[in-house]
Amino acid sequence: MATDNSPPRTRLILVMAVATAVTLFVLKFILDSYFTTMWEGEANAKIPPALELAKLHEEENKKLTGSPIPIDKAISELASKGRESSALIAPQPSSDDGPLVGSSLLAKKGGSAAASPESAAPAQDASTTTTTAAPANANKGDAGAPHAGGAAGGATGGAAPGAADAGHPH
């Protein structure tokens, strides 16, 4: 029986292994790209065209191109003159006090926080009220804790400061 005693051709084996790995790596990206293209093509073929959107775009294009002033000229005029040149687009101060409800800014503006029903604070019990008044037995060792000045902490039971001081520290 004959046996082959020649050394293995490791260089050929190594080159073939590297070539196979590179081919598989490149082939994976090619097949992924093909699959994605085919999948998106089939998915788009099943989606009906957006007729309402096309009509809306057509109407908007008619409005843009059919106006007395071409859109390019209107843009250049707005850029050169600014928003204040036309009363239709000039900025106006807001008279909406909704965002100021419960804020100290409402009192500065002339409104009354107690007069508006939205700003009426719900009644708080003693367990949820935050107070800045020091406890009666905290004479010493309070480490500089803030104390309420005047009747703010005592007469109202530690309620929030009134609209008169607008929440500013004393």
Whether the model pTM is above 0.75: no
pLDDT tens-digit series, residues 128-162: 444 444 445 544 554 555 555 444 444 444 555 55
Max Cα-Cα span within the chain: 116
Domain count, the chain: 2
pLDDT for res 109: 60
Q: What is the mean pLDDT of residues 106-129?
A: 51
Band of pLDDT at residue 166, cut at 50, 70 and 90 = low
Domain that holds residue 68: 51-84
Tokens for 15, please give them. Answer: 């080159």
Asked whether 163 and 107 are in contact (CB, 8 A), the reply is yes
Asked if residue 62 is part of any domain, the answer here is yes
pLDDT for res 120: 46
Looking at residue 137, its amino acid is N
Residues 77 and 55 in one domain: yes
Q: What is the mean pLDDT of residues 111-124?
A: 48
pLDDT for res 49: 78
pLDDT for res 48: 80
**Cα–chain-centroid distance for residue 29?**
37
Asked if residue 67 is part of any domain, the answer here is yes
Asked if residue 136 is part of any domain, the answer here is no
Asked whether 71 and 65 are in contact (CB, 8 A), the reply is yes
Asked if residue 105 is part of any domain, the answer here is no
Residues 6+ apart with CB under 8 A from 91: 83, 84
Last residue of a domain, one of 84, 108, 130: 84
Token look-up 């002033």 returns: 69
pLDDT tens-digit series, residues 56-114: 999 988 888 887 888 888 888 888 988 887 888 888 888 888 887 887 766 666 555 44
Rounded Cα gap, residues 102 and 120, in angstroms: 8
pLDDT tens-digit series, residues 3-29: 888 888 999 999 999 999 999 999 999
Asked if residue 140 is part of any domain, the answer here is no
pLDDT for res 129: 46
